[in-house]
Structure 1
Amino acid sequence: MKNQDACDIFCYDEHKVNRVKEKLSKHDFQDMSQVFKVLADQTRLKVAYALCDEQELCVCDVANIIGSSMAATSHHLRLLRNMGIANYRKEGKLVFYSLEDEQLKQLIRMAIDHQRKAALLTK
């Protein structure tokens, strides 16, 4: 039985392949993949999404939004901060987190939109 999603013969467009390889060599996919790995966790993605539409949220707010403990929420926020995804500031005994990168916010919103549209298509 033949594989339906693979070519039956092996050939390639050398010009296209070389052009794309050149583009690939200019980027650090290791760092990029780490960002996607961090956001691949459902809870951290919820946290990042919550931060998309708000100026900033304190750890208590985020814990309440995602229905998690303060310790678990702090852990997820710390990972986002360490990856350069979230920023934080301390005000007295409160710690506030935010997402400053508008492109990252757009990426998260686009992923949510894509999922919503894909769910509609499968119904």
Structure 2
Amino acid sequence: MEKVLKNNYSDATLFEVAEFFKVLGDPTRIKIVSALFENGELCVNDIVDVVDVSRTAVSHQLRILKDKRIISFRKEGQMKFYHLDDAHVEVIVLLTITHLNHQ
């Protein structure tokens, strides 16, 4: 009980955690995130090929992921190359997969 009392997270923090998982709760977005941690960096056309959805749908999902700081991009000319914002995202997804596969 003492540990629970020490970690009294604010409602705002808990809301952000819930929002983070809500964003990752979409199958297309999780496919995009998985593709990025498997390949490192991809342009929109490559992401479209990997996740097998329309360019419009990919662009929409990328915007949501970018807004929540799950991914970021670098620009080379007119091309944008997307990558995970930091290694924590990969760890969270891999730990979740490990948890789900745990017997």
Asked if Structure 1 and Structure 2 have the same fold, meaning a TM-score greater than 0.5 normalized by the shorter chain, the answer is yes
Count of aligned pairs between the two proteins: 102
Alignment of 1:43-122 (within 5 A): 43-115=28-100, 117=101
RMSD between superposed Cα atoms in Å: 1.9
Percentage of matched positions with identical amino acids: 33
The one-letter code matched in structure 2 to 1:92 is: G
Tell me how far apart the structure 1 counterparts of residues 79 and 58 of structure 2 sit (CA, whole Å). 14
2:8 aligned with 1:24, yes or no? Answer: yes
> TM-score of the superposition, structure 2-length normalised?
0.86
User: Greater helix share, 1 or 2?
Assistant: 2
Contact kept, 8 Å, 1:59 with 1:73, in 2: the verdict is yes
Cα distance change, pair 32–94 in 1 and its aligned pair in 2 (3 A): same
SS of corresponding position for 1:52: helix
Query: Which blocks of at least 5 consecutive residues in structure 2 are unaligned?
Result: none
Match for 1:38 among 11, 23, 28?
A: 23
Contact kept, 8 Å, 1:49 with 1:109, in 2: the verdict is no
> TM-score of the superposition, structure 1-length normalised?
0.73
The one-letter code matched in structure 2 to 1:52 is: F
